[in-house]
Amino acid sequence: MRSLICLATVTALFFELIPQASRSDEPRPLPLIFQEDFETGAKNWEAKDPGGWKLTRTEQGQVYSQYKKASDYKPPHRSPFHMSLIKDLVVGDFELTVQVRSTHPDYGHRDVCLFLGYQDPAHFYYVHLGKKTDDHANQVFIVNDKPRTKISHKTTSGTNWDDQWHTVRIVRQTKNGLIAVYFDDLKKPIMLAQDKTFLWGRIGVGSFDDTGDWDNLRLRGIRLKDK
């Protein structure tokens, strides 16, 4: 009996020496690989229509403004006309958090968009945050060498745009295909999709055919170097 008690004591001490993170089943936070507040410019960004973007001084500092509704960019398939991508950065799994302010007058499809899994102009995903939901608004979409197709299986009745700043977060998990979208309340997703077509790609911001300001972007993820 005494030997069993000693063995139990040694075992308990052994597990106390193991770091808590090693004993937890919870995933570790992804590393921060990119951040942007636009105070020193937008040199890290590649706009499809550079003439539609500018840096603007606001009450919260300098922001990246997509300010022209018309665009000289013509996508090969029906998809957003306003897009600016982070340069030289390809990711798999990621968590993106960014502040955005819609600057377009209010109407049913008032929107901003966020891009992920971008491989070329005919192959990518995007999140459309639109004022009122239908099959072409306020959904997660895939562009796969044909016009955009809805892939979200959960959304809301619409994104209630006003003229204030809001926080958007996207979580991408390639193992199960998850795309989760959060808006202001970062605890409960407003949109969900699952798709494994594009397991890597670039990240971007923009709009389908409206205008908006962007600021304070943080990207955590796994950087892929060989794509």
CATH number reported for the structural domain that contains residue 209 in this entry: 2.60.120.200
Contacts 24+ apart (CB under 8 A), 4-11: none
Q: What is the pLDDT of residue 29?
A: 86
- Asked whether residue 27 carries a pLDDT value surpassing 90, the answer given is no
Would 217 be classed as within a structural domain?
yes
- Asked whether residue 150 carries a pLDDT value surpassing 80, the answer given is yes
Would 48 be classed as within a structural domain?
yes
Tokens of 125: 């995903």
Would 14 be classed as within a structural domain?
no
Would 9 be classed as within a structural domain?
no
Would 61 be classed as within a structural domain?
yes
Overall pTM surpassing 0.75 (yes/no): yes
- Asked whether residue 178 carries a pLDDT value surpassing 80, the answer given is yes
Total domains, the chain: 1
- Asked whether residue 9 carries a pLDDT value surpassing 50, the answer given is no
- Beta-carbon neighbour count of residue 61 at 10 Å? 12
Would 20 be classed as within a structural domain?
no
More confident residue, 28 or 19: 28
- Return d(Cα 60, Cα 96) in angstroms, integer: 20
> What domain range is 149 assigned to?
30-223
Q: What is the mean pLDDT of the chain?
A: 90
- Mean pLDDT across 8-32: 51
Would 100 be classed as within a structural domain?
yes
Would 154 be classed as within a structural domain?
yes
CA distances from 65 to 38, 51, 129, 159, 200 (A): 10, 11, 17, 20, 27
